[in-house]
Amino acid sequence: MANFPVLDGQPQTHKDPVLLSKPGDRRWSFSFRFWEQIRYFGLDKSQPKWFVSLLDKLKELSNIQIDKFLADGTERDAWRYHPINWNQKNIPIQSKDLEWVDPVYKDNLDDYPLLQFQISQALGRVVGFWDENNIFNIVLLDPLHNIQPSESHNYRVDTCDPLSCEYTSLLSEINSLKRLDLCKNDCGHSEKLEQIPTNNVSSNVLMHFLSDEQKEELDSVITDKSTYTDVLMLGVEALK
């Protein structure tokens, strides 16, 4: 029998009730607080159109009432919505491996089962769970269908890895340069590269692209007593 999320009532453990009230006319909403990229569930092989398809599907579900969706077997089948079969042949991960998910959810699969729904038959799946606030928490994105290897593809699992952002890619490239021995004489560049603190991940990084005009206006208010962070926090006008 399919193991679907509990919509009301008390769970069978000491934990708080799951979905304290019936969803009523509430529609799907999503959280990415527990989303991670890991091996076999990374986005390094995903094309830009894939991300548009993902957003289109999330938008589509956001217009569907939760209780009607869960009560309609035809609708669930159309979305390939079902609990993860952790005994599936060649499945590359188990629930215990989801170490970044709060143990309240990860260790209580009876009340918070991991489920999937499809982006499309060709574009893979989204994996997550319903929390006590009727929000679907996305845990993994599965563009290569690795979460449930299928018999039709000989239970094959295809390799993919996390896709880095521009900032982390830059740090990786700098670290690669540090490992190279390209200087034929003592030019001093290697020592200078070693001084770049690429392993410092304690700071928050915000990336934002500016037009030439915006960059010129921003530079005009930067002085010895102000920084880009000051502009971000206070605004350009406050520093003029």
Q: What is the per-residue pLDDT across 137-171, written as a single tens digit (0 to 9) for each?
A: 999 999 999 998 887 778 888 888 888 766 665 66
Which of these, 212, 208, 174, lies nearest to 190 by C-alpha position? 174
Low-confidence ranges of the chain (pLDDT < 70): 1-24, 165-173, 175-185, 188-210, 224-226, 228, 236-240
End-to-end alpha-carbon separation of the chain, Å?
Answer: 67
SS (H, E, C) 78-113: HCCCEECCCCCCCCCCCHHHCCCCCHHHHCCCCCCC
The predicted structure's pLDDT at residue 215: 74
The predicted structure's pLDDT at residue 181: 66
Per the CB < 8 A criterion, the answer to whether 120 and 137 are in contact is no
Report field, pTM of the whole predicted structure over 0.75: no
The predicted structure's pLDDT at residue 221: 74
Element spanning 214, H or E: helix 212-220
Q: For 197, how many CA atoms within 13 A lie in the half-sphere containing its CB?
A: 4
Q: Where are the domains of the chain?
A: 1-181, 206-240
